[in-house]
Amino acid sequence: MLREKYKQASIKLVKERETTYHVEVKINPEGYTPSKELGAELIEHIAENGKRILCVKKGSVKVPVDKINIYCMGKVPMYPKEELQQLQRLKQSERKKFDAEPQNEERLVFIRDRLKHNWERSQEMFETIKQIGWGDSVEVVDRIIAHLLSVGEGVTVETRFRHSSELEAPLGGLKVQSTWKILPDGTKYLSTINFIPIERGG
């Protein structure tokens, strides 16, 4: 149940005495925890479908951790490349056999058009981060989240859609395009994010 509730939870049975054990649970063990400097807290936002979304919250701004830590950092799981190649070859060379089993087409569409393209988008987002001199680290996620917390503070109903901001890094800058939801209690919630590299002249 804990593993269902939290995407990343390590559960360890720790022996205290001969017949006594206790369960040690670490929530989000390899995931992101905001640094103290951020002055923010890790909270759960409960979505309408009951999903618990891990967010960094500061004041009235909430940034969902996975949108940054997974999607922007190239951690969308790799698609099954070999299976896709097999299906594509079967479709090309043994069409009758391929068509005889409708699941083949469904699986091909699912892998080729959904898993592959979403994985490649995530990879490109991370490439953009690498191009400006950053890597996959808690510090980088911290920097991006800190930027978004600051952006979120200033967004209004009028500026919440495709809000443009700039993030500076060692080797250049990133244009960050973010869209925010403003909840009835005034909370500003990051709903989408996209990166566009800034080309510097000279």
Partner 1 sequence: MNSENIDFLTDDDVDYKSLSEDVLKELALCDELFIATSALVELRLRKSASSAIIAWKILSKTLGDKYLQATAISVLFDMNQEQAVNFMLKQTQYCDPYILNTIMELMIENETYFKSEPASSIVGIVKERLQKLDNSTKLPESEARDRFLHIYRYVGKNYTSIV
Q: For the chain, how many residues are written? A: 202
Please report the DSSP string for the chain in residue order: -HHHHSSSEEEEEEEEETTEEEEEEEESTTS----GGGT-EEEEEEPTTS-EEEEEEETTEEEEHHIIIIIITT-SPPP-HHHHHHHHHHHHH-HHHHHHSHHHHHHHHIIIIIIIHHHHHHHHHHHHHHHTT--SSHHHHHHHHHHHHHHHHH--TTT-TTEEEEEEETTEEEEEEEEEEE-TTS-EEEEEEEEEEPPPP-
Confirm or reject binding of residue 110 to partner 1 (CB under 8 A): yes
Confirm or reject binding of residue 188 to partner 1 (CB under 8 A): no
Stretch that binds partner 1, among 10-18, 20-28, 84-92, 134-142 (CB under 8 A): 84-92
Interface with partner 1 (CB under 8 A), residue from 11, 43, 47, 198? 47
Interface with partner 1 (CB under 8 A), residue from 113, 136, 139, 166? 113
Q: What is the nearest approach in angstroms of partner 1 to the Cβ of residue 103?
A: 11
Confirm or reject binding of residue 153 to partner 1 (CB under 8 A): no
Give me the half-sphere count of Cα atoms (radius 13 Å) on the Cβ side of residue 61: 22
Confirm or reject binding of residue 44 to partner 1 (CB under 8 A): no
Stretch that binds partner 1, among 13-21, 136-144, 168-176, 184-192 (CB under 8 A): 184-192
Confirm or reject binding of residue 27 to partner 1 (CB under 8 A): no
Confirm or reject binding of residue 120 to partner 1 (CB under 8 A): yes
Confirm or reject binding of residue 49 to partner 1 (CB under 8 A): yes
Applying CB under 8 A, the residues found at the interface with partner 1 are 45, 47-49, 51, 53, 64, 66-67, 70-71, 76, 88, 91-92, 95, 106, 109-110, 112-114, 117-118, 120-122, 124, 162, 179, 181, 189, 191-192, 194
